[in-house]
Amino acid sequence: MQSFMVVSHLSKKYGEKVVLNNLNFNIREGEFLSVLGPSGCGKTTLLKLLIGIEQQTSGIIKLNGEDISKLDSSKRHMGIVFQNYALFPNMTVLQNVEYALKFNEQYKKDSRKIAQQVLEQVGLKEHSSKRVDQLSGGQQQRVAIARTLALKPKVILFDEPLSALDAANRLTMRKEIKRIQKQYNSTIIYITHDQEEAFTMSDRIMVMSEGHIEQIDTPINIYNHPQNEFVRDFVVEHLRTKLNDLENCMVNKNENKI
Ligand SMILES: Nc1ncnc2c1ncn2[C@@H]1O[C@H](COP(=O)(O)OP(=O)(O)O)[C@@H](O)[C@H]1O
Ligand SMILES: [Mg+2]
């Protein structure tokens, strides 16, 4: 399949500090790519460069063959979903989704209809007239996703969208995001520091540390063939430990019964 988004030699410095160092990767249309790395490795900075909230120090971002690296954020056809939802708490669900559409030349005429359609598709129709501060965290995050989807972005960027949720809601929302992705055939770049999240959701995972890419491959290839010590420790060992803990826990339970 042809590359949809191509990132070449992307670097970012803040003063003398190199935060991203020569990133090269591409994404296929409809692909779910996770960016997995510890806190402070440059994940959010990468999203900011991709969507154009921050300007890269050097490098090029192409979308569908077009160089978008100097375009204004509003012209890049990308949407972003944050951890903290960034919703208007005193507006209704419908008003929140309609808000961005009203400022869009292409969609403002049909803003109400589009907002209603998207809310129905993400299963929030019956909550349309509630204020967002009356909703649970998971529902609020779905409103944020609906608001992003309404503008039909070519690429959706997620910045640790589930980290504010409790464990049960996180699991539900993982499935929900995957379902929505399939429904819309969205191309997604999904940032997380959670190994399980990356492994359960992604077509490919880009493992990062300290501003550079350690490995980019399918979950199974990364698990079976970690390219270096960092990937082995941060990803593979972590997952193995979790699996071992689970097994021990089950064995203990069994023994206690007998
Ligand atoms: N505006 C800024 N000015 C200076 N340093 C920054 C700025 N934004 C981020 N950084 C630094 O860049 C590094 C990467 O940050 P960030 O992209 O937020 O990492 P992550 O999202 O992976 O936790 C951190 O060391 C952070 O302190
Ligand atoms: Mg971050």
Summarised one tens digit per residue, pLDDT across range 152-165 is: 999 999 999 998 88
Measured in angstroms, how far is the CA atom of residue 122 from the centroid of ligand 1? Answer: 32
Residue 3 has what pLDDT?
A: 85
- Structure confidence at residue 258 (pLDDT): 61
How far is ligand 1, taken at its centre, from the CA of residue 92, in Å? 33
Q: What is the pLDDT of residues 27-75, one digit of tens each?
A: 999 999 999 999 999 999 999 999 999 999 999 999 999 999 999 998 9
The highest-confidence range among 103-107, 135-139, 207-211, by mean pLDDT, is 207-211
Task: State if residue 43 touches ligand 1 by the CB under 6 angstroms criterion.
Answer: yes
Q: Where are the alpha helices (DSSP H) in the chain?
A: 43-51, 93-102, 111-121, 137-150, 167-184, 195-201, 219-224, 229-231, 238-257
Which pLDDT tens digit goes with each residue over 202-226?
A: 999 999 999 999 999 999 999 999 9
For strand 3-14 and strand 58-63, is the pairing parallel, antiparallel, or unpaired?
Answer: antiparallel
In ligand 1, which atom is closest to the CA atom of 39? 23
Ligand 2 centroid, distance to 115 Cα (angstroms) = 29
Judge if the beta carbon of residue 12 lies within 6 A of ligand 1: no
Alpha carbons within 13 A on the beta-carbon side of 31: 21
Closest C-alpha to ligand 1, atom 6: 14
User: What whole-number percentage of the chain has pLDDT above 70?
Assistant: 98
Number of H helices, E strands in the chain: 9, 10
Residues 14, 214: Cα–Cα separation, whole Å: 22
- From the alpha carbon of 37, which atom of ligand 1 is closest? 22
pLDDT at res. 78? 95
Per-residue model confidence (pLDDT) at position 67: 97
Whats the size of the chain, residue-wise? Answer: 258
Pairing relation of β-strands 155-159 and 187-192?
parallel
Cβ pair 40, 212 in contact under 8 A = no
- Which ligand does the CA of 158 lie closest to? 2
44 within 8 A of 211, measured Cβ to Cβ: no
- pLDDT value at residue 201: 96
Q: 42 in ligand 1 pocket by Cβ < 6 Å? A: yes
Residue 1: predicted pLDDT: 55
257 CA → ligand 2 middle, Å: 44
Determine what percent of the chain is predicted with pLDDT higher than 90: 79
Higher pLDDT, residue 184 or 255: 184
Find the helix or strand (DSSP H, E) in which 24 lies: strand 17-28
Ligand 1 atom closest to the CA of 208, numbered from 1:
22
Each residue of 114-131: pLDDT tens digit? 999 999 988 899 999 999
SS3 call for 5:
strand
Residue 254 Cβ inside 6 Å of ligand 1? The answer reads: no
DSSP 127: G
CA distances to 5, 19, 140, 211 from 56, in Å = 16, 10, 31, 13
